[in-house]
Structure 1
Amino acid sequence: MSGPRTTPPQRPAPDTASDVVRWAAFSCVLVPVVLVWYGTSPAGAISTALGLATITWVCRLLLRESERHAARLAAEERAPHRGRHGRTGTGAHRGGRRNGGNTPVD
């Protein structure tokens, strides 16, 4: 007889945005070193590093914004739909005019 079955532990999803940013930061350091090694001026290598760092920073911002947007959409999919205007129940502003009861109006 076998013991109780347990489900394998769930691994968290890999954080691909952080991986991309790490590799980009690594290239911001590596590319200028290679450029200087192959004879480019240090000023040219520094300007290349600054350009790469700027592009990396902007891409990081866009990735984070995309993650927030995806998380917001996932949360909205899980939340129940609350109707046309997001209100529940029968509020005072629902429907037509009301005159206070079932008495005829003359």
Structure 2
Amino acid sequence: MPGRRSASEPPPAPDTVSDVIRWAAFSCVLVPLVLVWYGTSLAGAAGAALGLAAVTAVCRVLLRRSERCAERHRRSGRRCAEQRGGRHTRRRTPVD
């Protein structure tokens, strides 16, 4: 049956990034409503919503990139910084 897993397969990991993004999107809607409720101008609330949406979008990109990097690390055994030519901390320079 396609729905059954063997005993050796690990259970699927929860998609925590999607949960974080959902809560962030919820706050992008809720915060401006609360600001308007407490007397902030519509322009101020709209600015807050746009700022929160921009931060949410950047965080989503960074979280997804981190997920892809971690998945490559699990498959290849190499660190992500080594894969993209980042800093190598294994080589150290002598200190006087």
TM-score between the two structures when normalised by the length of structure 1: 0.63
| Partner Cα separation in structure 1 for residue 54 and residue 72 of structure 2 | 27
1:29 aligned partner: 29
1: CA distance, partners of 2:58 / 2:37: 28
Identify the residue that residue 68 of structure 1 maps to in structure 2.
68
Distance 1:10 1:71 in 2: 15
- Which one-letter code corresponds to 2:28 in the other structure? C
Aligned length: 72
RMSD: 2.0
Q: Which residue of 1 aligns with 2:38?
A: 38
Structure 2 unmatched runs, 5+: 1-5, 78-96
5+ residue gaps, structure 1, are 1-5, 78-106
Distance 1:74 1:26 in 2: 32
Instruction: Summarize the alignment of residues 74-85 of structure 1 with structure 2, pairs less than 5 Å apart.
Output: 74-77=74-77
Secondary structure at 1:27's aligned position in 2? helix
CA distance in 1, matches of 2:72, 2:10: 23
Query: 1:102 matched to which residue of 2?
Result: none
- Superposition TM-score, scaled by structure 2 size: 0.69
Quick one: structure 1 residues 69 and 10, their matched pair in 2 at CA, closer, same or farther if it must change by over 3 Å? Answer: closer
**Residues in 1 aligned to 2:40 and 2:34: alpha-carbon distance in whole angstroms:** 9
**Distance in 2 between residues matched to 1:60 and 1:14, nearest whole Å:** 16
Runs of 4+ in 1 over 6 A off after TM superposition: none
Larger radius of gyration: 1
Q: Which letter does structure 2 place at the counterpart of 1:72?
A: R
* Higher helix residue share: 2
Identity of aligned residues (%): 66
- Match of residue 58 from structure 2: 58
